[in-house]
Amino acid sequence: MDEAIKEAIKAAKKDEVPIGAVVVVDGKIISRGRNCREKSKNAIKHAEIVAIEKACKKLKSWRLENAEIYVTLEPCPMCAGAIANARIKKLVYACPEKTSNDGLCEKILKSTRLNHKVEIEEEPNELASTLLKDFFKKKRR
């Protein structure tokens, strides 16, 4: 999670919402991503999507069956869907997404429509949360 947070810090420095992600296989980081929606002017470029696309490229497969993804914030529906589509085994996130209060991330990852279910773990982290709070506090000013 520390490595995902490093990505979030890099995003904050570029004035992007500070969210970072890493994909891990067999205990090794195979790809990293950070949110770059503003700079890329691309609605798809959330941290998880960037990391998943790089992981697919690295493994030359759209199936990331033995992979885990560490993200600093609970994924939005698009990213939760991407994690499910890529057959990722486990999601670990630092901060729960409070405004997305519909519980959609869990609904998507545990949906009966999937042949495989994605494990979900919350790993609270003060720094990941402070980064987000500070970013939005600064934006509101």
**Residue 93 Cβ vs a second copy, minimum distance, rounded to whole Å:** 16
| Minimum distance from residue 14 beta carbon to a second copy (Å) | 15
84 binds a second copy (CB under 8 A): yes
Of 3, 7, 16, 48, the catalytic one is 48
- The reply on whether position 41 binds a second copy by CB under 8 A is yes
For tokens 């995902």, the residue is 4
| Contact status: 56 vs a second copy (CB under 8 A) | yes
For residues 110 and 83, give the distance between their C-alpha atoms in angstroms, rounded to a whole number: 11
Active site residue 126: no
Indicate whether 102 belongs to the interface with a second copy (CB under 8 A): yes
Q: Which is nearer to a second copy, 76 or 127 (CB)?
A: 76
Q: How far apart are CA 8 and CA 12, in angstroms?
A: 6
The one among 13, 63, 117, 133 contacting a second copy by CB under 8 A = 63
Residues with a known catalytic role: 48
